[in-house]
Structure 1
Amino acid sequence: MPNLPFTLRQLEVFTSLSATRSFRRTAELMGISQASVSNQIKTLEEQLGVSLFDRKPGRRPTLRSEGLAFLDDVREFNRSAEALASHRVADPSEGGRVQRYRVLVGQGMFDAYVRRKLDSFFAQNPNVELEFEAQLPFGQLIRAVESGSFDFALINQRADFPVHEEFRELAMVRGGVYGHRKYAAGRTLPLTPDELNMLPFILPKATSRQEREVMRNYELHGIRPRNVIGHTQYYDVMAAMLERGLGVASFSEAILPPSMREEVIQLVSLEDWRLLFFRKDHGIDARYDIVADFLVNSVLDDPNYPAISRPPAPARSHAPAGK
């Protein structure tokens, strides 16, 4: 066996930092300090004899050409390791061992569709433990998955964004600016940008990446809110404000509670949203299939999920990863 100039932990830290481009975020995802992340990368570069990242004060770390080449090889290394691991024969004596999986899920998807079904799932699968990280459907969720920290991901993504090769599309739902039906009284739908601009707007958390992303998208559609009445990072708070007629907001219909859909309506259509699914393992572990089926079916089989289209489901393959 070769004497490798790195440790598996260093590869894990390197992969995460390549995805997040943030020492702070990598430290949070991996549960270690920023100093530890920096030391792991520094040691890895010293052992390899090359600089993998460009690091400048006040700027995100960026992969150098050597780093990009190393990242490609790390991914191939991981695929080969998973293929080797798939040869392991399960030990019947391990039947009582708890298998833990990390799941990245959109906050609205988790609260509206997944959380309510977890009690039945855990009762039927006592040897499976799921650890969820629920986030708003903005920002660098794809990079979080690429970091290798999650076994599964179930997220919404605007339809104008490309679908990452490791994800598959489960469904499409409507997206747009939603508000209480009172804002449509005496007007023809969809509202014009000028009509919308005069309405009270609710935005994501002030100065956040989410707010900047929403405002950029509004700008593309000629929408320039003149009256911002509040900011919140909680989608359920935003939905409650819509129901009370306090303002309007950009929303995916999928995370608008069914009880509100009579009073809260789409005032103008923007980009639709894709429901995307990711699973790290494609081997023969039956528990992976159980978790994957639960996550997908908890949404798609829910009668309140407002899908406007669903791509054909691919045939399940039990081939080991990388094969």
Structure 2
Amino acid sequence: MFRFTIRQIEIFLKVCEAEGFRRASEALGISEAAISHQICLLEEQLGGALFRRRRGAAIQLLPEGEEFREAAILFVRQGLALGQRLAPAAPLPTSITIHTGPHLLEDALRPALPDFLRRHPDINLNLVLPKARRWLKQAILTDKVQGALLNVKAADELPHSDLLAQTEMALFACPTIAARIRANPALPIDLLLPNSEHPDAAAQIKYLRHAGVHFRIAGHYPFHDVGIRMAAEGAGALVVLSSIVTSLAPAGLLERVQNLGTWHTRLYLSPHLRPDHAQALREFFTTVAVGLTASSED
């Protein structure tokens, strides 16, 4: 009765592939003596030599070795096929798309995303910018999106959402311009605004007019970090969430000139999400939102 092991078959096939004991030992990470010993045990079990060994010459498979090699390859293939049939197929991760704002996406969510995906391999989380606030609101009401995380002024801007944190919208400027605004409060403020294609551009202009801010446009910026740099260089004042300034600007670079109201970080998750997925997402987004708020209050 044959009693050779799978390890001996593995070593035998590696010797055949490497055409020698030395290269097989290097490939398998074991000594050449161990290779030779296992081949000798295998040959004893089979009752005959598998290789022709000659001093100073490469080993060669004997006809018996060729026959056993074909049987060993078939054995390995059948074993792999059986393992694939018996092993449960790994489930594909569930793809979930969450709409969020550029500040939350770039400054908070994207840096924390790799750790979330590592801890939740069953979730493929996609973070995207919404087409427009009005579109997103309608999509939530008609149950066409899986989730959204946004900074909003009023709860009805993100229907069926929960409050995670809040932060202040404020007017910021470099010390020189801040002093000028305080000294001449009746004059229009030279203001930097997002580019028209920025997702928050239209909403910010509407909010400024509603808040009664008297301004004239001094320039535009594509991203918050660019806007903060322009404001720090004296190009104009900036209306932005305090959490954004805290996360992007060194302390003392910009001064808070005037608070313009409290904004809420709100989360909507579709009721059709799996409960465990919804819980994992809620914990992740809450941690991110609270972290931003805490840093802006320090």
Higher fraction of helix = 2
Q: 1:297 aligns with which of 271, 287, 293?
A: 287
Q: What is the SS of the residue equivalent to 1:271? A: strand
Give SS of 1:113's match: helix
Which position in structure 2 is the counterpart of 1:40? Answer: none
- AA at the equivalent of 1:205: N
Give the number of equivalent residue pairs: 211
- Distance apart, 1:97 and its partner CA: 1.9
In structure 2, relative to structure 1, the CA distance for the partners of 1:134 and 1:239 (3 Å cut) is: farther
Q: What's the CA shift string for 1:17-76, capped at 9, x where partnerless?
A: xxxxxxxxxxxxxxxxxxxxxxxxxxxxxxxxxxxxxxxxxxxxxxxxxxxxxxxxxxxx
The whole-number CA distance in structure 2 between the counterparts of 1:224 and 1:247 is 14
Work out the CA distance in 1 between the residues paired with 2:242 and 2:131.
14
2:220 is equivalent to residue 240 of structure 1: no
Change (3 A) 1:229 1:136: farther
Quote how far apart the aligned CAs of 1:267 are.
Answer: 1.2
Q: Which residue of 1 aligns with 2:107?
A: 112
Query: Which residue of structure 1 aligns with residue 151 of structure 2?
Result: 156
Partner AA of 2:221 in structure 1 = T
In the aligned structure 2, how far is the partner of 1:217 from the partner of 1:303?
A: 21
Confirm whether residue 181 of structure 1 aligns to residue 163 of structure 2: no
Change (3 A) 1:265 1:126: same
CA RMSD of aligned residues (A): 3.3
Deviations 1:233-277 (A, max 9, x none): 423322222233321122111222435242212211212211111
Q: Which of 275, 278, 287 is equivalent to 1:285?
A: 275
Instruction: Please tell me the residue identity of whatever aligns with 1:203.
Output: L
Distance 1:284-1:208 versus aligned 2 partners, 3 A rule? closer
**Cα distance change on mapping 1:262 and 1:144 into 2, 3 Å:** farther
**Structure 2, unaligned stretches of length 5 or more?**
1-86
Structure 1 CA distance for aligned equivalents of residues 259 and 131 of structure 2: 20
Q: Which has the higher contact order (CA 8 A, sep 6+)?
A: 1
- Alignment match, 1:253: 242
Please give the alpha-carbon distance, in whole angstroms, between the structure 2 residues aligned to 1:252 and 1:218.
Answer: 13
> 1:169 is matched with which residue?
163
Which residue type is aligned with residue 154 of structure 1? L
Deviates more, 1:245-254 or 1:200-209: 200-209
Q: What secondary structure, in the 3-state scheme, does the structure 2 residue paired with 1:123 have?
A: helix
> Against the structure 1 CA distance between its residues 165 and 150, is the aligned structure 2 distance closer, same or farther, given a 3 Å change threshold?
closer
Distance across 2 between alignment mates of 1:302 and 1:97? 32
Look up the match of 2:96: 101
Taking structure 2 as the reference length, the TM-score comes to 0.60
What SS is found at the alignment partner of 2:225?
A: helix
Q: Could you tell me whether the CA contact under 8 Å between 1:171 and 1:307 is conserved in 2?
A: no
Contact 1:104 1:133 in 2 (8 A): yes
Larger Rg: 2
**Residue in 1 aligned with 2:137?**
142
Q: Helix, strand or coil for the counterpart of 1:277?
A: strand
- Closer, same or farther: CA 115–209 of 1 in aligned 2, 3 Å: closer
Tell me the secondary structure at the aligned position of residue 154 of structure 1.
strand
Alpha carbons of structure 1 residues 208 and 153: separation in structure 2 relative to 1, 3 Å: closer
How far 1:103 sits from its partner (Å)?
A: 0.5
Written as runs of structure 1 = structure 2, the 5 A alignment for 1:193-212 is 194-195=186-187, 197=188, 199-206=189-196, 210-212=200-202
The 8 Å contact of residues 258 and 304 in structure 1, kept in 2 or not, is answered as: no
Gaps of 5+ in 1: 1-91, 309-323
Aligned to 1:255, the other structure's residue is in SS state helix
Structure 1 pair 257/290, CA: closer, same or farther in 2 (3 Å)?
A: same
| Percentage of matched positions with identical amino acids | 15
